Structure 1
Amino acid sequence: MTSGNALRWLLTGLSAGWTSLAVAGTAQSTIQISMTVLNPPPCTINDGRTIEVDFGEIVTSDLQNNAISRPINLNLSCSMSKNQMRLQIQGTPDKDYPGYLLASYSPIAIKFTSNGQVLPINSWLNFSWPDAPELRVATFRKPTWLIKDGDSFSASATLRVEYQ
């Protein structure tokens, strides 16, 4: 029985008992019930540490051809045996390419993919544990922008995993 079902049965039992007392003609009083339901997260991502993807030094011609992609190592560890889950990469969308993440350097946007398909920023991806999706991150050069040697960029996003 899930904790939600147990709570429903408990509250149903309490209200049934209260109703029978009120009908029997006994004194009435208001009962305030408060509780905190604690449920430890069933999964951890990268042992709770920040996932960093370092593109290192990039050759300008590779950047011009959008040829730079790196894997995202989730190191997802879940205590349940199998479950339906979903994943979201939360961040500020690029104004020119809203499905991509905004980078600190205007000519570049950051593209996320899952199993070869674009994963738009702030959208959900459903999957079944333990078959976690294969995620990659790539630089995307905006076609109308020039890139200068020596420029650098950074971007930040939050990875969220929920079970359903």
Structure 2
Amino acid sequence: MKRFFALLALLLPLAVSAADNMQFHGTLVAPPCTISDGKTIEVDFGNDLGVNKIDGNNYKQSVEYTVSCSAGYGLNNIAIVIDSTTPAAFDSSAVQTDKTGLGIRILVDNTAVTFAKRIAVADPSVPPVIEAVPVQDQTVNLTEGAFEGTMTLRTDYM
């Protein structure tokens, strides 16, 4: 046992005294595509949402956005990605708002979104249709008041 520890003590300095043998390099470039010129996209549901009328269909709003790409990017080589750091626990396609029991479901071309999944963009001048619609947790009675939620919409390119 003493021999093992003595041998280990002799080999240990060899393992940590290796010379640098790896380098990192690259080139940073601006993203070739932008969403709505980098501006915040706001969807206003107004001030008259009935707490008893939120059913995943009422109050649906279009998300107005544009996709602009520099030369060389465009047809069939970009995608959009919708993501949320706060998905609703009661609906995996909804963003949780700051109002308990209220989420905003995101639809892309009439299909509930899967967060963080690439959505192909065949033509940036005609991007996929995105809609947002309030949904509620059926175990919670909604109360009156303002609400807010956020998500991320970004381009992904090859």
The alignment's TM-score, normalised by the length of structure 1, stands at: 0.70
What whole-Å deviation, never above 9, does each CA across 1:29-82 have from its counterpart, x for those lacking one? xxx976432333211111111111111113314425640111111121112342
1:63 aligns with 2:54: yes
Unaligned runs of 5+ in 1: 1-31
- 1:84 deviation in Å? 2.1
- Is contact 2:96–2:104 with CA below 8 Å preserved after alignment? yes
1:1-164 equivalence runs, <5 A: 35-60=25-50, 61-64=52-55, 66-79=57-70, 80-91=73-84, 92-130=86-124, 131-148=126-143, 150-164=144-158
Change (3 A) 1:104 1:33: closer
- Is contact 1:101–1:121 with CA below 8 Å preserved after alignment? no
Residue aligning to 2:15: none
Q: How many equivalent pairs are there?
A: 134
RMSD (CA atoms): 2.5
- Is contact 2:49–2:59 with CA below 8 Å preserved after alignment? no
Secondary structure at the aligned position of 1:73 is classed as: coil
Question: Which of structures 1 and 2 has the larger relative contact order (alpha carbons within 8 angstroms, sep 6+)?
Answer: 2
4+ residue stretches of structure 1 with deviation over 4 A? Answer: 32-35
Matched letter for residue 47 of structure 1: D
Percent identical: 24
Unaligned runs of 5+ in 2: 1-21
- Is contact 1:108–1:141 with CA below 8 Å preserved after alignment? yes
Greater per-residue helix proportion? 1
Change (3 A) 1:36 1:119: same
